């Protein structure tokens, strides 16, 4: 294996194991999360290993996923069905947006003038550098969302004694967080850190009126935005370093 193939494995296998736990629709269903881990693990390992090693790797990844899920999944059984539905609906919108974006890019490449069929696209999708960027993006968007959720959870819990609808607040924040981390990651990995800073500033300006009127939520928005930006920055910079690029 060369260096890029090692990087693909080192970043891809943890993503295959952990990301299905962080995606709400998958985390509530053991079979679905295991299949997601299996499929993404297969994508990571397919171009690298001989057939028997590939199948061995594909078998190990879901097993490790189930072990980690059994340790972290107890919290999911203690929430109400209503809260579960809100979380699923929220993440579903975010995933639909991200999937639509990638589908539009794929379709644009497919119908571009001079295109020679699916083979160039397939080669690009299976390329090591593409897999490394996908690994980093999934970590930034979904694992980053789980980290941010743990950070802001104590602040959100304090709103239960006020008139704030905590489920609605978490729903909107999670949806916005997925999209903002996707944009930040794309800008930073693409070398456009100034555009990422501009997006962060624009979001802050949009939030400013509500923060001024509802000071009790200002801390929640500030901590959530900054922690989301820091997590995404770490994932994007790590991805650039693995690709052999300058940090920013």
| CA dihedral for 239, 241, 242, 244, sign (positive or negative) | positive
Say which residue, 26 or 46, is predicted with more confidence: 46
Confidence of residue 97 (pLDDT cuts 50, 70, 90): low
pLDDT of 114 > 70? The answer is no
Contact indicator for 193, 200 with CB cutoff of 8 Å: no
Say which residue, 28 or 93, is predicted with more confidence: 28
Closest by CA position to 4, among listed 128, 125, 123, 124: 128
Confidence of residue 117 (pLDDT cuts 50, 70, 90): low
Tokens representing 212 are 């001024």
Work out the number of other CB atoms within 10 angstroms of the CB of residue 68: 15
Q: What is the pLDDT of residue 78?
A: 44
Q: What is the pLDDT of residue 70?
A: 85
Say which residue, 191 or 25, is predicted with more confidence: 191
Tokens representing 27 are 């985390």
| Phi, then psi, of 76 in degrees rounded to 5 | -70, -25
Q: 59-75: per-residue pLDDT in tens? A: 899 999 989 988 876 44
DSSP symbols for 54-91: HHHHHHHHHHHHHHHHHHHGGGGGGS-HHHHHHHHHHH
Q: 5-29: per-residue pLDDT in tens? A: 999 999 999 999 999 888 876 777 7
| Phi, then psi, of 112 in degrees rounded to 5 | -65, 145
Torsion of Cα atoms, 117 then 122 then 125 then 127, to 10°: -120
Q: 139-172: per-residue pLDDT in tens? A: 999 999 989 988 988 887 777 666 666 667 777 7
Owner of token pair 């980290």: 147
pLDDT of 120 > 90? The answer is no
Tokens representing 71 are 């340790």
Q: What is the pLDDT of residue 230?
A: 94
| Helix, strand counts (H, E) of the chain | 11, 0
Q: What is the pLDDT of residue 76?
A: 47
Cα dist from 66 to 20, 41, 150, 231, whole Å = 10, 14, 21, 25
pLDDT of 89 > 80? The answer is no
Q: What is the pLDDT of residue 107?
A: 60
Closest by CA position to 177, among listed 218, 102, 214, 227: 227
Q: What is the pLDDT of residue 74?
A: 43
Confidence of residue 80 (pLDDT cuts 50, 70, 90): very low
Contact indicator for 57, 10 with CB cutoff of 8 Å: no
Q: What is the pLDDT of residue 122?
A: 72
């Amino acid at each position: 294996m060369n260096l890029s193939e090692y990087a693909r494995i080192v970043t891809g296998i943890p993503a295959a194991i952990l990301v299905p736990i962080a995606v709400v629709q998958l985390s509530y269903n053991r079979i679905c999360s295991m299949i997601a881990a299996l499929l993404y693990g297969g994508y990571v390992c397919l171009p690298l290993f001989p057939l028997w090693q590939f199948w061995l790797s594909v078998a190990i990844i879901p097993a490790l996923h189930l072990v980690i899920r059994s340790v972290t999944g107890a919290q999911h059984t203690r929430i109400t069905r209503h809260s579960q539905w809100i979380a699923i609906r929220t993440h579903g919108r975010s995933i639909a947006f991200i999937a639509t974006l990638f589908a539009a890019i794929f379709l644009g490449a497919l119908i571009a003038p001079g295109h020679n069929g699916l083979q160039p696209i397939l080669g690009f999708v299976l390329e090591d550098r593409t897999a490394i960027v996908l690994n980093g993006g999934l970590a930034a968007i979904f694992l980053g969302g789980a980290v941010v959720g743990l950070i802001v959870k104590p602040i959100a819990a304090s709103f239960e004694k006020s008139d704030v609808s905590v489920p609605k607040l978490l729903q909107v924040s999670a949806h916005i967080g997925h999209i903002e981390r996707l944009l930040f990651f794309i800008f930073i990995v693409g070398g456009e850190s100034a555009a990422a800073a501009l997006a962060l500033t624009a979001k802050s300006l949009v939030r400013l009126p509500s923060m001024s009127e509802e000071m009790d939520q200002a801390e929640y928005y500030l901590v959530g935005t900054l922690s989301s930006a820091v997590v995404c920055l770490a994932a994007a910079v790590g991805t650039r370093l693995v690709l052999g690029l300058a940090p920013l």
